[in-house]
Structure 1
Amino acid sequence: MKRDAVDGLERGDVVLLPNLPFALSPAEAALLDPSSVKQGTKTVKYDPDTGRVWGYAEGVDAAAVKSMMARYADYTRRLLDALIPTYGAALKIGNTSFRPVEAQGRDQSKRHDDTLLHVDAFPSRPSHGQRIMRVFTNVHPGAKPRVWRVGEPFETVAERFLPKIAAPIPGSAKLMKLVGITKSQRSAADHYMLQLHDRMKLDDEYQRTVPHRTVEFAPGSTWMVFTDQVSHAAMSGQHALEQTFTLEVDGMAHPEHAPVRVLERMKGKKLR
C-alpha cells in the first residue's frame, strides 16, 4: 500500500482513500455554512507554523475555526507520515484551507477560476522547483460529492504550452522581490510554472477540447495529489478541508517525474 501510494502520487495519479472521514465536533459542524467566510473571499486559512487564522466572518466562533483547522493540519501530517514515511523531513507543512462555499458558479477572473483546468504554482511564494502536494477531505454533512475534472499528463501539458512561453526578463525576479510582489526571488522554474498555470486557464479552446475525466469525491473521503503535476479543476462541491505540503525534489522516490525536472529536460538547462 505504501509503495503503491508513493509510485501513484509521483506518477501523477490522484490517490483516493474513500472511507477516511474527518469527524467534526458540534461547534465545528456549525461552521459548515458559506456565511462562515468573510465577505468577498471563498476560503478560511490557517498557518500551522504561527497559529494565525484568517478569512472567517465577523461573529464566527474563532476558537472552533482554529481548533478544526489545527486538528486537520495534524491529522494530515500524521496520515502522510504513516502512508509515506520515506518523505520524512523533506516534506514541509504549509497552510490549511477550509472551503465552505459552493465551487460552482462563483464570479472570478480566469486566473483565479479553479473550475478551469490548471496545474498549481505559487505567485507570491516561489517554490524553486519544490513539489506542491495537497490533501483534501470532503466534510459535507449530506451526500454532495466534490467533483473534479482531471486532464492531460504534465509532460503533455508542457509540450503544448512551453514553446509559447518566453524566458523571464533579466532582472525581473529581483525587482519583484524588491517591491514585495514575491516573498523571495523567483527561479526560472517558478516563471515557467506560473506561465503554464495562466496559459492553461486563459486558453478557451484548450479548456473546451482537452481530453479529461470526471472524478467524484464523496463525503467522508480523503484524497491526495501533487497539484503542481496533475491538471485539475474543481467543478462543484461544498465544504472541503485542504492541507498544503511542499516536498524537496531530492526527497522523492522518482525525482525524474518532478515538473521542474520535466521542464529542465525540455529546455536543456537547469531552471533552479
Structure 2
Amino acid sequence: MSSITTIRDFPDSTWADDGPTRGIESVIEAGEVVQFAQLPFVLTPNERQFLDPRWADAKAKNISVRWPANELRGAVGSAQDLAALQAMIGRYAEQSEALALRLFPHYRGHLRRGNSSFRPVNVAGRETSWRKDDTRLHVDAFPSNPMQGTRLLRVFCNVNPNGQARQWRVGEPFEAHAKRYLPQIGRPLPGSAWLLEKLHITKRRRTECDHLMLKLHDHAKADAEFQRSSPQTRIDFAPGTTWIVFSDQVLHAAMGGQHMLEQTFYLDVAHQQQPESSPRGTLERLLGRELR
C-alpha cells in the first residue's frame, strides 16, 4: 500500500528574517506539507471587518490581487473599503514572500509572485462541476493556463476568527499517484497544442507535461473509488496556522473552512535544489524520456 504525504511541523512564530527555520528546500521539494501552527497573520482592528463573505463578488470564487499590476478583483464595496482590503492582501503577499525567501534561500532571485487571494466564503456547500470540485483529491493543473512544468509554491494561512479549522485531505505521494494513472494516459493528439493556443483556449502552448498533469488531475477527480479508498489522511489547520506546499505535487482536497489567505509563487524547475524531484522530473523518469 502507498504511503501518505508527510506533514512536517516547525516552531516559527514570526514571518520576519530572524525566525529559526531556514534552508528547508529538501523538505518542500520532497512533496511534504510544511506547517507552522504558531504563525498567524494578524489582522488590524479595521481589517477584521473583512472576515465576512459580503465583501466577495458572488460571481468570483475568491477575492484576489493580481501582480505586478496590484489589481484587486472579485470584491465589492466602497472605494475606501476596497483600498483597505487590497492593502491587507498586499501585506500578506509581502510577509509570505519574506517567509519563503528565508525558508528557501536557494530560490532567492527566482521566485515570481503570482496571485494573492483572500477566501472569505465557506468551502463547504459550494456547487460546482466534478472537474472544478476542490473537495476531491487532486494536484493543481489548469486547462486554460499551461504551466509548462513551472512549480506552484503556495503559502496558506487560516485567519478564521471563530475557531474553525481549515479542513484538508492529503493523499499519496506524487510518484505513487503518477504510477497509478500513467498507464491509462496516452500522448496528446498531434497539433492539438498548436490549435488550442491558436484558438485562445489556452494562454500559451500546452506541453506534454501539461497534458499529463491535466490528465492526472482529471483522472483523480473522476475516480470515485480513488477518492473514497486511496491512501489519505485529514489535516485540520487551526486558526493562526500557516502551511506551505508545492500544490502541483501534493495531492490535496479542501473539505471545509472559511476565511483564508493564500499566496502563490512560481518557480522554474531548473532553480530547484533537486530538479529531478519535481513532477516533471518524476514523470520523465517514469516514462524514460524527456517531456517537450
Name the TM-score class by shorter chain. over 0.9
Q: Helix, strand or coil for the counterpart of 1:103?
A: coil
Query: Which residue of structure 2 lines up, in the alignment, with residue 191 of structure 1?
Result: 211
Query: Which residue of structure 2 lines up, in the alignment, with residue 82 of structure 1?
Result: 102
Distance 1:49 1:95 in 2: 9
1:109 paired with 2:129, answer: yes
Aligned counterpart for 1:8 among listed residues 27, 30, 33 = 27
Aligned counterpart for 2:257 among listed residues 237, 241, 253 = 237
- Write the letter of the residue equivalent to 2:69: T
CA distances 1:141-184 after superposition (whole Å, capped 9, x unpaired): 12111011010000111011111112111111111111111111
Query: Which range moved further: 49-58 or 233-242?
Result: 49-58
Q: Helix, strand or coil for the counterpart of 2:235?
A: strand
CA distances 1:44-102 after superposition (whole Å, capped 9, x unpaired): 11112111111113558211221111111111111111221111122111001111111
1:131 paired with 2:151, answer: yes
Distance 2:40 2:134 in 1: 24
- Write the letter of the residue equivalent to 1:33: D
Distance 2:259 2:285 in 1: 39
Q: Helix, strand or coil for the counterpart of 2:64?
A: strand
1:261 paired with 2:281, answer: yes
Q: Is the 8 A contact 2:25 2:106 kept in 1?
A: no
Q: Is the 8 A contact 1:12 1:226 kept in 2?
A: yes
Distance 1:221 1:251 in 2: 28
Output the aligned Cα RMSD: 1.3
Query: Which residue of structure 2 lines up, in the alignment, with residue 119 of structure 1?
Result: 139
Query: Which residue of structure 2 lines up, in the alignment, with residue 166 of structure 1?
Result: 186
Distance 2:67 2:40 in 1: 21
1:71 paired with 2:91, answer: yes
Runs of 4+ in 1 over 4 A off after TM superposition: none
Query: Which residue of structure 1 lines up, in the alignment, with residue 71 of structure 2?
Result: 52
Structure with greater proportional helix content: 1
Q: Which TM-score applies when normalising by structure 1?
A: 0.96
Q: Is the 8 A contact 1:39 1:57 kept in 2?
A: no
Aligned counterpart for 2:167 among listed residues 147, 159, 164 = 147
Distance 1:157 1:214 in 2: 18
Offset at residue 211 of structure 1 (A):
1.2
Query: Which residue of structure 2 lines up, in the alignment, with residue 33 of structure 1?
Result: 52
- Write the letter of the residue equivalent to 2:144: S
* Structure 1 residue ranges without an equivalent (≥5): none
CA distances 1:11-50 after superposition (whole Å, capped 9, x unpaired): 1110001111111123321111112111133311111211
Distance 1:168 1:158 in 2: 17
Query: Which range moved further: 134-143 or 39-48?
Result: 39-48
Distance 2:64 2:190 in 1: 34
Identity percentage over the alignment? 48
Q: Is the 8 A contact 2:59 2:74 kept in 1?
A: no
Q: Which TM-score applies when normalising by structure 2?
A: 0.89
Query: CA, structure 1 residues 59+108, in 2 after alignment: closer, same or farther (shift >3 Å)?
Result: farther
1:43 paired with 2:85, answer: no
Query: Which residue of structure 1 lines up, in the alignment, with residue 117 of structure 2?
Result: 97
CA distances 1:162-214 after superposition (whole Å, capped 9, x unpaired): 11112111111111111111111111101110111111101111101111011
Query: Which residue of structure 1 lines up, in the alignment, with residue 226 of structure 2?
Result: 206
- Write the letter of the residue equivalent to 1:19: Q
- Write the letter of the residue equivalent to 1:162: L
Q: Helix, strand or coil for the counterpart of 2:160?
A: coil
Distance 1:59 1:169 in 2: 49
